[in-house]
Amino acid sequence: MAAIVKSLKLLADPTRLRLLLLLRAEELSVAEIQEILGMGQSRISSHLAQLKAAKLVCDRRAGKNIYYGAADHPSDPFEAIIKASADELPEAAHDRAALNLIRHKRQDKARQYFNKLAGTFGRSYCPGRSWKGFAQMLLALMGPITVADLGAGEGTLSQLMARRARTVIAVDNSEKMVEFGSNLAREHGFHNLEYRLGDIEDPPIDADSVDLALLSQALHHAGNPARAITAAHRILKPGGRVAILDLLLHQFESARDLYADLWLGFSEVQLEAMLREAGFREIDIAVVDREPESPHFQTVLATGVK
């Protein structure tokens, strides 16, 4: 009974309810929460500490930042109260709009980095971008099919696949990358290759329309990797396949600044869990390359069937 009373007291505070609603939608840093709520750091930190003590909120460290998210309580008896507050709190609509701005700012940071790289990818170093890894994926999956290359950049891989695929749709959130890739496709006569501006967490592709969805060195730039994998599941036809080529989990923190990486790769366990949660079956995951130079990035290939 004491625990119930304590939780009810926590939920009686509008600020803590606003925090819970936000953190159920997105992991956020204290600085991002400050921007959304317009409150001081000490006040927010105090509320977060109380929610964390009650096991309603959890945190994780990513480099210099600590991100907070809602704890997983599938049978939480207070879930109805929290959900109802989304309609009753007058600030909830503002918070949702502000959260969308935070998401866009995250995307803009990565977009600015990739806009600078447009036209130089073939000559610049990028962790995990190995021809050996590409070959492993192409040999395993290529055929006369419709392909979605999600987070395609200027589309080096898209152009390789366009030589054999029926149709290739290259999606990237960098305007410069899309422009550069589109020009290359025209120059090389790839009439079956189309570039589209969009985000990998919500690609501008119809549901159930592609045979193969690729995320090649793109997932570690996603704000929400699980959401990106779920989006890939949405656009695939029944029986279609997803292929994720990314960095194996590493500790090279400088990648966040050098390459605009949001995530330091993924473990095989993490990838398997996200794929299974999105609804994929016949999941297969293997490390396909290890770079000889420090910090010895390793490339992992994960596939699954819808």
pLDDT tens per residue across span 4-50: 666 677 778 888 889 988 998 889 989 899 888 888 889 999 999 98
Mean pLDDT of 258-267: 92
Q: Any residues with CB less than 8 A from the CB of 11 and at least 6 apart, and which?
A: 17, 20, 78, 81, 82
Query: Which residues pair with residue 147 across a beta bridge?
Result: 168, 212
State how far the Cα of 261 lies from the Cα of 281, in Å rounded to an integer: 28
State how far the Cα of 244 lies from the Cα of 214, in Å rounded to an integer: 6
CATH 3.40.50.150 residue window(s) in the chain? 126-305
Mean pLDDT of 223-242: 97
- Write down the mean pLDDT value for the chain: 86
CATH architecture of the domain covering 2-90: Orthogonal Bundle (1.10)
CATH 1.10.10.10 residue window(s) in the chain? 2-90
Asked if 144 and 178 count as a contact pair (C-beta separation under 8 A), the reply is: no
b (16+ CB within 10 A) / e for 67-103: bbbbbeeeeeeeeebbeebbeebebbeebeebbeebb
Cα three-residue angle 64-176-253, rounded to 5 degrees: 20
What's the pLDDT at 210? 97
b (16+ CB within 10 A) / e for 265-274: bbeeebbbeb
pLDDT single digits (tens) 73-92: 655 666 767 777 767 788 88
Asked if 218 and 245 count as a contact pair (C-beta separation under 8 A), the reply is: no
What are the φ/ψ torsions at residue 118 (nearest 5 degrees)?
-55, 130
What's the pLDDT at 82? 73
* Confidence at 303, pLDDT banded by 50, 70, 90: very high
Q: How far, CA to CA in Å, does 87 sit from each of 27, 92, 171, 304?
A: 21, 7, 35, 38
Q: Is the pLDDT of residue 121 over 60?
A: no
Q: Is the pLDDT of residue 204 over 80?
A: yes
Mean pLDDT of 126-142: 65
End-to-end CA distance of the chain: 45
Write out the two tokens for 162: 């366009």
pLDDT single digits (tens) 139-192: 456 678 999 999 998 888 888 888 888 999 999 999 999 999 999 999 989 999
What's the pLDDT at 63? 78
Mean pLDDT of 255-284: 93
- Select the more confidently predicted residue: 231 or 9: 231
Asked if 30 and 16 count as a contact pair (C-beta separation under 8 A), the reply is: no
Mean pLDDT of 277-294: 91
Instruction: Please enumerate, as own/partner, the contacts of 94-97 that have beta carbons within 8 Å and a separation of 24 or more.
Output: 95/18, 95/21, 95/22, 95/36, 95/37, 96/25
Asked if 10 and 51 count as a contact pair (C-beta separation under 8 A), the reply is: yes
State how far the Cα of 121 lies from the Cα of 154, in Å rounded to an integer: 8
What's the pLDDT at 135? 61
Burial group, residue 239, by CB count within 10 angstroms (0-12, 13-18, 19+): exposed
Burial group, residue 283, by CB count within 10 angstroms (0-12, 13-18, 19+): middle
State how far the Cα of 274 lies from the Cα of 265, in Å rounded to an integer: 13
> Domain 126-305, what fold?
Rossmann fold (3.40.50)
What's the pLDDT at 1? 43
Specify the pTM.
0.65
* Confidence at 290, pLDDT banded by 50, 70, 90: confident
What's the pLDDT at 192? 94
